[in-house]
Structure 1
């Protein structure tokens, strides 16, 4: 099984990030997992990738409702980043929102490839990897 070099978790809940990181580690498809508590921290990080010579994330799990810079605002600023900072990452919105309008809005945004309810599970990872990174799926 191949591994993704870098996965980004963006969620304002430490417990959620912790659980999602455990699930990703259990699945074993990512070499590096980076966590941020809001979209602003993640945008700052992504903006400085080339200066740090880090690997841009290939997969981003994004919460919708966060303080400072929410998921929608993150996506607006993410779209303004240079292409090499986006690196064609697959953005998966993970949320507790049950509002069908949120899903419709998210999937209408070019960068958002999937919309799923929390928590992240091994089954959800199976689906995401099978669709976007088949070489990394079990």
Structure 2
């Protein structure tokens, strides 16, 4: 498979989950770069910090946990949605959680910024479905 994604941002406070999700993505060879942040605030800081040439990070996919310390996934989304639309264009946010609370799934359906909602772990099947649905022609 060609690498359909330039960058994936994993946002999860569980380092074991990040390790597993990175391994799935690397084994599939779907992204040029995989970045990990341990909570919503770290992820937001990452997205708001330009590189040496003044360019801001622009992941194609953000895999976002819900329950994290410092800033939850929902709080991250509240701030993320305040970014200029051009900074969010083309970015797919996938809620990836262990939450079995049906309210979380309902809240996710109500947020247009969320492109997918899934229970952990991230699997190759889930990645392929996501790419086919949100990045057609890139696989």
TM-score range relative to shorter protein: over 0.9
2:93 matched residue in structure 1: 91
Instruction: Give the 5 Å matches for 1:94-113.
Output: 94-113=96-115
**Residue 135 of structure 2 aligns with which residue?**
133
In terms of fraction of residues, the more helix-rich structure is: 1
Taking the TM superposition and a 5 Å limit, the aligned residue runs for 1:1-138 are 1-49=2-50, 52-137=54-139
In the alignment, the residues of structure 1 paired with residue 12 and residue 55 of structure 2 have an alpha-carbon distance, to the nearest angstrom, of 24
8 Å Cα contact 1:5-1:55 kept in structure 2: no
Q: Let me know the Cα RMSD of the aligned residues.
A: 1.5
Runs of 4+ in 1 over 6 A off after TM superposition: none
TM-score (normalised: structure 2): 0.91
Q: 3-state SS of the aligned residue for 1:119?
A: coil
C-alpha contact 2:47 2:57 (8 A) present in aligned 1: no
Which blocks of at least 5 consecutive residues in structure 1 are unaligned?
none
Tell me the number of residue pairs that the alignment of Structure 1 and Structure 2 aligns. 137
Q: 2: distance between equivalents of 1:18 and 1:54? A: 25
